[in-house]
Chains A and B, each alone.
Chain A
């Protein structure tokens, strides 16, 4: 057999999946359709009005106030930036931070309660003992427990944080609670599912041994499943903390005092220079959150 024949043979034997192909085709078709559907006004790209808008925005609105009339001066710039940052930016940034910290802790707590209930390996009459544990052999009751837990988690995460916050704001009034709860609910849905998947993927041998020794389901979770899954779970926890900081900034635009509140405030008063400064501060906050999460994750990873 020549090399070319062998290559042709390997090529013919490569794994193929109709589902993957169909997905790729559908998505490509959808992308093409999106641009041709007329919903997106592509012609705006050549519209003079838009670019005039942009020019006016950059020359006038977006230029820091002290730089518009007179020339550049560092002291004038600082005079302008100081009150924006100190009186609105920093309190807003701290509120954003605390909202996201409380939200992710609540989400983590709720998720660690839900995760074992969603794990199909644990929700069986004799977890880890009878047969392979999961699959079709599980009694209806246990299937209902894991199934309904997972369905509940989907409901929590299907609604975006911003929408949760909008709905909760009407029901709980203007405090930090709507923002905290919105983030906590959405992230509990995500962390709960990831936690349940983590538990299902744990090495079964030590768990089976413990169960064979007569450990109750609760002991199994508390003494073996939780410690074994904790490392993974904390990684997810800190990943989601990053997105919490991002989202908490934005939720303020609904009227909760986080950075977004002051961004919306500057926007409403047409102070676009202030607005851009606060958006930049938000970006710095998000980057700091990413760094903190990165540090925490590598600290956790080092633990055995």
Chain B
């Protein structure tokens, strides 16, 4: 095959070059040096010990003295997993209905002629819902957690609310986009047959977007599990709480146990969601 110049990339090539330039710029603004990537002294010792512990995850507490009455290590791990899943499930059970309602109200098809109810105030209503969604989404769940900690003090309901709010916003945004991009032919047919706008929406449009919406909801559950684990860094006794505790006590083998458990959880969810996606596509 003769040598040839690669095909011109045009606009996308420009974006690629721009992104690279932005990366170089960011590197210089952040005052970084490649030497910072080489751990020194105590840091390299931590790194060595931490990596060495990877192959020997703890099955029991590493501390030589464990106060009597402490639950066994596997039991502590299971309790942490249990709590992590419970927070995630509770949060999603709040954010899913909220996300559905807000997502419907934020979609154009709900307000447009061929799906919903044409009203004079429609654009105003739609955009105020979109603004609310953007506000919920733009504050990270850990920041909501920090604000709620300040407002209410440490309590599990706040943890659930902290995850629910941004997740409801994200679900609503994605749902509204999926509804707007769903094929409309069923809706047109139903409308031509004389169905009411609400029925056209519920039975003509929503079912066409439903597989995507369901798959995305499941993916968000996986995200909620991760967020719930990280909330442990703020005092809620999920996986992150025990992981941080073990790391701060230099019990690296325990840290690896928690990491492996988290891997296993995420892996199981990915396999599950992969199987679901195949079922939906087929």
Contacts and interface: CB of A to CB of B under 8 A. Distances in A.
Interface of A: 17, 19-20, 23, 27, 30-35, 37, 39-42, 44-45, 50, 53-54, 57-58, 61-62, 94-95, 97-99, 101-102, 104-106, 108, 154-155, 157-160, 162-163, 166-167, 170-173, 175-177, 180, 213-215, 219, 222-223, 227, 230-231, 234, 237, 246-247, 249-250, 253, 260, 263, 267, 272, 275-276, 279, 282-284, 286-287, 290, 296, 299-300, 302-304
Nearest to B10: A303
Contacts of B43: 170-173
Interface of B: 1, 4, 6-7, 9-12, 15-16, 19-20, 22-23, 25-27, 29-32, 36-37, 39-40, 43-44, 46-47, 50, 82-83, 85-87, 89-90, 92-93, 134-135, 137-140, 142-143, 146-147, 150-153, 155-157, 160, 214, 218, 221, 226-227, 229-230, 233, 240, 243-244, 247, 259, 262-263, 266-267, 270, 272, 275-276, 279-280
B86 A40 contact: yes
A61 B19 CA distance: 42
B39 A172 contact: yes
B279 to A, nearest CB: 5
Classify the secondary structure of B's interface with A: helix
B155 A23 contact: no
A105 B20 contact: yes
17 contacts: A23-B276, A39-B156, A58-B151, A99-B30, A105-B23, A106-B23, A163-B229, A166-B233, A167-B247, A173-B43, A176-B31, A177-B32, A180-B32, A227-B7, A227-B9, A283-B135, A290-B134
Given A180-B32, A234-B12, A302-B11, A263 B143 contact: yes
A296 B155 contact: no
A39 B279 contact: no
Contacts, number: 225
Contact of B156 (A40, A105, A172): A40
Contact of A30 (B12, B89, B140, B150): B89
B229 A44 contact: no
Contacts of B247: 166-167, 170
Which 4 A/B pairs are nearest by Cβ-Cβ distance? A105-B23, A303-B11, A31-B93, A158-B266
A53 B153 contact: yes
A61 B147 CA distance: 11
B156 A275 contact: no
A17 B281 CA distance: 12
B268 to A, nearest CB: 11
Contacts of B10: 303-304
A162 to B, nearest CB: 5
Contacts of A246: 138, 140
A272 to B, nearest CB: 5
A98 B244 contact: no
A214 B263 CA distance: 42
A267 B150 contact: yes
Contacts of A159: 259, 262-263
Nearest to B94: A31
A267 B12 CA distance: 43
Contacts of A34: 85-87, 89-90, 93
B22 A101 contact: yes
Nearest to A259: B143
A97 B29 CA distance: 10
A170 B48 CA distance: 12
B151 A53 contact: yes
